[in-house]
Structure 1
Amino acid sequence: MTQVVLVTGSNSGFGRRIVHTLAKNGYIVFASMRNTRGKNADAARELDLWAQQENMDIRVLDLDVTDDDLVIQAVTQVIEQAGRIDVVVNNVGVACSGVIEAFTIAQAKAVFDVNVFGLLRVNKAVLPFMRQQKSGLLIHISSIFGRLSMPFSGLYSASKFVVEGLVEAYQHELRSAGIEAILIEPGPFPTEHGAKIVFPEDTQIQHDYGEPVAHKIREHGNTFVKLFSGPRAPDPQRIADAVNALVQMSPGTRPLRTVIDDYSGQYIETVNAATEQCQQDYLRQYGLV
């Protein structure tokens, strides 16, 4: 039976590459994005056209992860058309850059509404069907910044730390239902994601931090510019290939975390290895493993 996959944030970046890669490998892919008749109309048409030209089974869905009703409608549409849902790739997300104090509370809420509550809405909508099937795979595109926080990316890191905590719990809670929840932790990659960075609205507070902090922020940005423009710039296709490889693995063999970052991934691997044993010992103490 051909597996059915739902991908969020399919209009660009990792999402579009994930859709292309999974479709090429024979999956039925529901490519979701918001505003398919507005801002993302061109992206939706391009996906439809590519699918027709390449004879791929890609079905574009309108889904805004911040809207409860649209999430439920989209998942219902998947079930009505395909009869099941085997894999969800929670990919959609927004980044932010600046000192934490300078972000308004409204901005912080908006970031968490996408990065955290967005995946909670999607998972809550699909899990009843997966539990009925007694199978399913939830893949969450997290970040290395969800394991080690970084100055001037603190708000983004905080949202990804929450994702990491949620998925660790999902992994245990869903196991008896035959459902797996896993994480991919990319480092920085040159995608359209960079054009969607949220900057602090309270510019006066950021200004009050002074030139030393402003200099560090500029250097922080310059580091990524050099990384993305050099001959060894990381290829975003690696994320799509990792998703495809994880989907193809047998249930029960998939790692909880997959790090994809040649620049600083070794530090994240060290953290992951250290915390894995600690977590097992911690859960064992409470009779949970």
Structure 2
Amino acid sequence: MEEIDTSVNKKRSFFRFWNQPKHAAYLFMAPSIIILLFFMVIPLVGTLGLSFFDINIFFTGTKFVGLDNFIQFFHDQRAINSMWHTVYFTLLETPTQVIVGTIAAAALSRTTLFNRFSRSVFYVPVICSLTTSGIIFSMLLDPNIGWIPYVLHQFGMSTPQFFRDASLAMPSIAVMTVWKNFGVTMTIMLTAIQAISPSLYESAEMDGANKKQQFFHVTIPQIIPSLGFCVMTNLIGSMQVFDQIYVTTAGGPEFKTESAVQYIYSRGFSAPYQLGYASSVATILFVIIAVLSISANLYMSHKEKQMR
């Protein structure tokens, strides 16, 4: 009888422990923590470890080389160029997406039937995969069958080689990415704008502020935290660009649009299968993303304090 009572008490203690809010929170967090551990932390540690070895994807002829892979990176012009291409894409895509998303959110902030419909239309591209979006834009911008080159030709304009001209390829990919993803930024900024107290706009209007002044002096200061979040997430995503480039230009012409992730993929998973060197480049990319993200976060935090 005592054994049964002890067992019941243990079960009650167990459920009582996890029924407390501060403990129950860990249960809800557990799936995300497990996913983060297996798909982020372990691969990150593994990549760092592999970067010190001369190793291929078949794990044959493994040799410890220390920092040689990292030193090789600084003598590999193609690798360095891929980093610059990635930064260039990020500088094109991130500010444009945040600005377009914020303007769209401000324009559609009122709850009307037209605005609701417009929000849905703008969000549709988000549902499509980047691969699908890349194929769509490849067809739209194709100089032979594309609708956009056809329209330009009808107006007597020359037909640009959007994905074949080195000077137009990366901007074209950036425009496609903005079209694909700005719906997410719009949704986040829309939530932030609608959370602003109407009394702030009423006070500004009483002081003689027009719509433009209200936007820059009331709306923007109130949505700085959301702006910072959008900048951070877009920055991290842009620095890892791969799918749309792989589908549209495959890194061409002459590697002019090859991104860092695409270069890592080509070195690690195609001949000569230099997985160790690819891991070292991935580690360097991670450090660059971390530095840029932290810098952007500090800057946005500083701006938020100034706005208060």
**What's the TM-score, normalizing by structure 1?**
0.27
Q: Compare the two structures and name the one with the higher strand fraction.
A: 1
Q: Compare the two structures and name the one with the higher helix fraction.
A: 2
**What's the TM-score, normalizing by structure 2?**
0.26
**Higher RCO (C-alpha under 8 Å, 6+ residues apart):** 2
